[in-house]
């Protein structure tokens, strides 16, 4: 199974041994961030620094001024955490070490944009804005995301791209000093708290014959048992039970339509701009009502549009099954495993986990994250990949 490790430019640039060390793990590919959200990251082996603080979502290369001239929404340049063409510099080093490089592009996740342009954000049924979550139903936001995807995905030296957050973002969000877990929302509560009531979404509900104000009231009523401590059962059925089948179906129809059309348009735009053979994958969840970095998708649709998906497998490889049921020859099903033990990953079980994933249809592996992992973590990854190679041989 072809394996790729996620990496940031600041893991590579300024560290002469980084690229060779990543290649020495046994991976054939590096999935390198070219557009990324704000973060605070450990760099345990870098000779110049140990902590990198990316203050806001940014592109990690010089954006094309002509593309963005006169537009309100445009990508932010990185600060001193990724100066100049940090992506391009890291690409050269990784390629010299014998690795294929694919871009890693984070799209609908941008807190700075939400703070500067609050009207772009998801608004919940209580009127609270989520600045980290651009509403993907808004025409201006969709145009921005499409052009960002093209620019950040098709970088010099890249053989493909992996698009993260290409869909609805909602309430779940890793946030500084987060205090949102006091009530167990479950899938159903999370979905209801992620429904958007911005003007574009209100218009969308109206087109489906719903009154947006009445729908917002219904969502608030549906959440009352949750605030009292009644955790709804998992799955879509719990949403239908809380909100009612007809209303739940209508909200999902609107959201699925917005996400599906955006995913189709973005993939088509990237493909039109890319050279032949350029691979386009989406970080994806097979339940279309799910929100977050692994965007909810319709497996049949997305595998007909994109070249494949990157599927989160940290909790097991079960999410691969719906994609495997619709995969055609040539589709990539990449099982994504966290391998940083300090962040909940299990590098010591990678061989067994990868073997199980292969049995459920995985064709490739993704390893999160080569720059964040400890030496012990990386040693276990190297051993697991060597065992997989011997087994394949």
| Nearest partner of 34 among 107, 105, 95, judged by Cα | 105
pLDDT band at 392 (very low <50, low <70, confident <90, very high): confident
CA 299 vs. chain centroid, Å, equals 16
**Tens digits of per-residue pLDDT, 243-257?**
999 999 999 999 999
Section 349-376 average pLDDT: 98
**Tens digits of per-residue pLDDT, 73-116?**
999 999 999 999 999 999 999 999 999 999 999 999 999 999 99
What pLDDT is stored for residue 177 in this prediction?
A: 67
pLDDT band at 60 (very low <50, low <70, confident <90, very high): very high
Mean pLDDT of the residues in the chain: 96
From residue 177, how far is each of 124, 173, 174, 181, 275 by CA, in Å?
A: 21, 11, 9, 11, 43
What pLDDT is stored for residue 179 in this prediction?
A: 67
The structural domains of the chain, ordered by start, are 2-123+131-177+257-392 (3.20.20.80)
What pLDDT is stored for residue 1 in this prediction?
A: 86
Q: What's the residue count for the chain?
A: 393
pLDDT at 178 over 90: no
**Tens digits of per-residue pLDDT, 249-306?**
999 999 999 999 999 999 999 999 999 999 999 999 999 999 999 999 999 999 999 9
Section 356-383 average pLDDT: 98
| Nearest partner of 226 among 249, 242, 240, 248, judged by Cα | 242
Rounded to an integer, what distance in angstroms lies between the CA atom of residue 6 and that of residue 24? 14
Section 315-341 average pLDDT: 98
Residue 203 CB neighbour total at 10 angstroms: 12
Contact between 363 and 334 (Cβ < 8 Å): yes
| Nearest partner of 260 among 301, 311, 292, 207, judged by Cα | 301
The model's pTM: 0.97
């Amino acid at each position: 199974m072809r394996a790729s490790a996620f990496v940031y430019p600041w893991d590579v640039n300024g560290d002469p041994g980084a690229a060779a060390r990543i290649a020495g793990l046994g991976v054939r590919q590096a999935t390198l961030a070219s557009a990324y959200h704000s973060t605070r990251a450990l760099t345990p082996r870098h000779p110049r620094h140990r902590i990198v603080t990316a203050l806001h979502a940014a592109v990690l290369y010089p954006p094309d001024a002509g593309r963005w001239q006169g537009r309100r929404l445009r990508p932010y340049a990185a600060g001193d955490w990724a100066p100049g063409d940090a992506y391009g510099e890291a690409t050269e080093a990784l390629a010299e070490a014998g690795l294929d490089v694919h871009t890693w592009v984070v799209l609908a996740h941008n807190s700075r944009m939400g703070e500067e342009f609050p009207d772009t954000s998801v608004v919940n049924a209580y009127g609270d804005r989520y600045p980290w979550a651009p509403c993907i139903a808004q025409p201006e936001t969709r145009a921005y995301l499409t052009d960002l995807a093209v620019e950040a995905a098709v970088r010099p030296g890249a053989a493909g791209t992996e698009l993260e957050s290409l869909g609805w973002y909602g309430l779940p969000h890793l946030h500084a000093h987060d205090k949102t877990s006091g009530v167990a929302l479950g899938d159903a509560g999370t979905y209801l708290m992620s429904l958007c009531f911005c003007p574009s979404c209100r218009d969308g509900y109206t087109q489906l014959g719903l009154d947006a104000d009445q729908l917002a009231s219904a969502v608030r009523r549906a959440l009352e048992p949750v605030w009292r401590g009644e955790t709804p059962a998992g799955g879509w059925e719990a949403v239908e039970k809380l909100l009612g089948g007809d209303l739940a179906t209508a909200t999902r129809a609107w959201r699925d339509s917005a996400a599906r059309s955006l995913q189709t348009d973005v993939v088509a735009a990237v493909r039109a701009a890319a050279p032949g053979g350029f691979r386009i994958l989406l970080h994806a969840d097979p339940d279309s009502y799910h929100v977050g970095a692994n965007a909810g998708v319709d497996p049949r649709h997305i595998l007909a549009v994109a070249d494949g998906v990157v599927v989160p497998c940290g909790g097991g490889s079960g999410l691969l099954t719906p994609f495997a049921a619709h995969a055609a020859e040539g589709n990539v099903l990449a099982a994504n495993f966290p391998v940083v033990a300090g962040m909940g990953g299990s590098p010591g079980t990678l061989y067994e986990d990868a073997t199980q994933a292969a049995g459920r249809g995985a064709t490739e592996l993704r390893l999160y994250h080569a720059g964040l992992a400890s030496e012990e973590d990386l040693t276990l990854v190297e051993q697991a990949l060597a065992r997989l190679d011997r087994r394949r041989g």
